[in-house]
Amino acid sequence: MAVSANLLAAPVAAPLLIAALILLLARWGGRRLIRHQIALTALALCFNFAVALLIFQATAGQGERLVLQMGAWSAPYGITVYGDGLSATLLLLTALVALAVYPFAVATIDYHRARMGFHPLYLFLLMGVNGAFLSGDLFNLYVFFEVLLMASFVLLTIGAQPAQTNSGIRYVVLNLLASTVFLVAAGIAYGTLGTLNMAQIAERLPLASPAVRTLFAGLLLVGFGSKAAIFPLFFWLPASYHTPPPAVTALFGGLLTKVGVYTLFRSFTLFFPELLISWQPTLLTIAGATMLVGALGALAQPGIRRVLSFHIISHVGFMLMGLAVALSGNKLAIGFGLGAAVLYLCHHMIIKTALIMAGGAVELHMGSDRLASIGGLVTRHPFLAFLFFMAAISLAGVPPFSGFVSKLSLLQITLDTRHWLVSGVSIFASLLTMLNMMRLWRESFWGDYKRPSRVPTRILQSSLRQRLMLTPIAVLVLLSLGLGILGGPAFRLSMRVAQQALDRQAYIDAVSPAATFSTKPPSHFVPTTATVPTFLTENAADLARSPFVPSP
């Protein structure tokens, strides 16, 4: 079935339109009106999921590339919206996470926060994340980063507890710094290459001087890397994720860092694939340090959500490791590393959301998430204990679940490319993850029943709320199990996604930016330089075999 490229506008326009309708129709206040907001938001989430499925089927399933030139203005002048397998995978997972967290949010968000506009903000965040995945030029990427930053900032601080405000300030300051670095990179791109369209940047970047390329790549690595919470730039994440309501943490943990990871994947595969080889030691060092610091940091944390938020950092390291070996010469396949990283991303988004929701359920039952003061919940809530355990071992990488397949494939590629040290670090980090997960489970479910809070919670009394909280966790755990059992087909699909993302010439052709009308090229343009990127000559033996590298 052919899918119109106009479908790409829907994941951005639909949440925005529904959020606007909520703002238009709902005067704040009145529990009945909150119910209307919930119905509208659920409608938008379901629609978004359906659209994401259609886009995924067309791009990742059939290998199409959807390009929407807004208002039919051609590429460098108009706004390009681009969807390929990588974007569509993330769109689908985002829609899934948003849809799964929403019942949990409805069950646990208090009336005060709902009245202050929780539901439209949820949709604004979804719109920002979707837009970042679909954006075809750097400036719109920046705009959507800001949209999701603002929406997440308000979601983080809504309710105005002192701890929330404190963490919100740190979150917004560090993220704005990262955005500024990214904006400087975009400015450099515009100043030297004369364009912000990503296809055109990819086309012209090999002609730019090496200094410009290095600076551009470095700034993008810093900007996107701090959004993704890689090693020296992750401080905003553990500072902020434990303060908002658990539903908000689950949403953030599922979505926010993944935008950074996606942009890293996209920029390294599209703009400077040659740096995946020349910068490989740096990237692998960062990846190893991120894994190790995340896992070790989690070991020292006293509360469930703090442990889980450090594990997000650790897992971003795994994805970065997959990206770093994406183009290495190996006997498996070119792009194997990126395929493994994409599979890991799917696994991570599904199971991390489930685990944070399960941890949030524990916290809401106990009134606290400090491991030292809670315990024994298994006697009261055996099903929650079961789900938490399953999600925890999936995160750690135990066989029938998706964690095993994704970690195994990543390990396979790093061992195959003889990066012994980083492979060892990743195994060590996985063992630490296992240790941490068992610690979480033992402290919160095993032992004598201890409940520090005397305040009875609404959640404990309503069976509907219980079901709304537990069903999405169960669905996500089942999905993780399915992804693990169907590991082969899932991996083939993610390999296809990775190879599509690595085929940069096809990206440029699909967007087909019109030739610039400027007759005078910028002074540093050296027409005699060969247009073949240097990485083609370095690993020519490996790359010559691959079907997706353009023949020089």
Partner 1 sequence: MPELYLRLLNRILTPVLLLLAIYLLLRGHNLPGGGFIAGLMAAAAFQLQILSRGHDRVRSAIGPYLNSGIGLGLAVAICAGVVGLFEGTFFKGLWFKLNLPLLGYLELGTPVIFDLGVFLVVVSVATSFLLGLSRVSESAVIIGEGSVSPDLTDDPAFDPMETAGETSREVES
Residues that bind partner 1 (CB under 8 A): 6, 9, 13, 16-17, 19-25, 27-29, 68-72, 116, 160
Q: Within 10 A of 97 (CB to CB), how many other CB atoms are there? A: 25
Q: Choose between 1 and 72: whose C-beta lies nearer to partner 1.
A: 72
Query: Smallest distance, Å, CB 161 to partner 1?
Result: 9
Nearer of residues 19 and 325 to partner 1, judged by Cβ: 19
Smallest gap from residue 256 Cβ to partner 1 (A): 23
Shortest Å distance, C-beta 323 to partner 1: 32
> Please, are residues 228 and 260 in contact by the beta-carbon 8 Å criterion?
yes
CB of 68 or CB of 90, closer to partner 1: 68
Residue 29 or 452: the one with the smaller Cβ distance to partner 1 is 29
Residue number, 111 or 383, with CB nearest to partner 1: 111
What residues have CB less than 8 Å from 512, skipping those under 6 apart?
75, 199
Distance of closest approach, residue 230 Cβ to partner 1, in angstroms: 35
Single-letter amino acid code for the residue at 185: A
Q: How far is the CB of 446 from partner 1 (least distance, A)?
A: 39
CB nearer partner 1, residue 26 or residue 255: 26
Least CB distance to partner 1 at residue 34 (A): 14
The rounded distance, in Å, linking the Cα atoms of 160 and 28 is 17
Which CA distances in Å does 552 have to 140, 382, 499, 533, 548?
Answer: 32, 61, 18, 9, 12
Cα–Cα distance for residue pair 40/339, rounded to 1 Å: 36
Q: Compute the least distance from the CB of residue 16 to partner 1, in Å.
A: 6
CB atoms under 10 Å from CB of 184, counted, come to 16
Note whether 132 and 262 are within 8 A (CB).
yes
Distance in Å, CB of 147 to partner 1, minimum: 12
Residues 6 or more apart from 502 whose CB is under 8 A from it?
Answer: 269, 273, 326, 327, 334, 335, 338, 548
Looking at beta carbons only, is 68 or 345 nearer to partner 1?
68
Cα Dmax for the chain = 78
Nearer to partner 1, 167 or 330 (CB): 167
Query: 389-409: string of b/e by CB count within 10 Å (b at 16+)?
Result: bbbbbbbbbbeebbbbbbbeb
Residue 535 tokens, joined? 């990485």
What CA–CA distances, in Å, run from 400 to 28, 284, 454, 477? 47, 28, 39, 11
Beta carbon nearer to partner 1, 21 or 239: 21
At residue 545, φ and ψ (nearest 5 deg) are -75, -25
Closest approach of partner 1 to the CB of residue 116, in Å: 8
| Main-chain dihedrals φ then ψ at residue 257, nearest 5 degrees | -65, -25
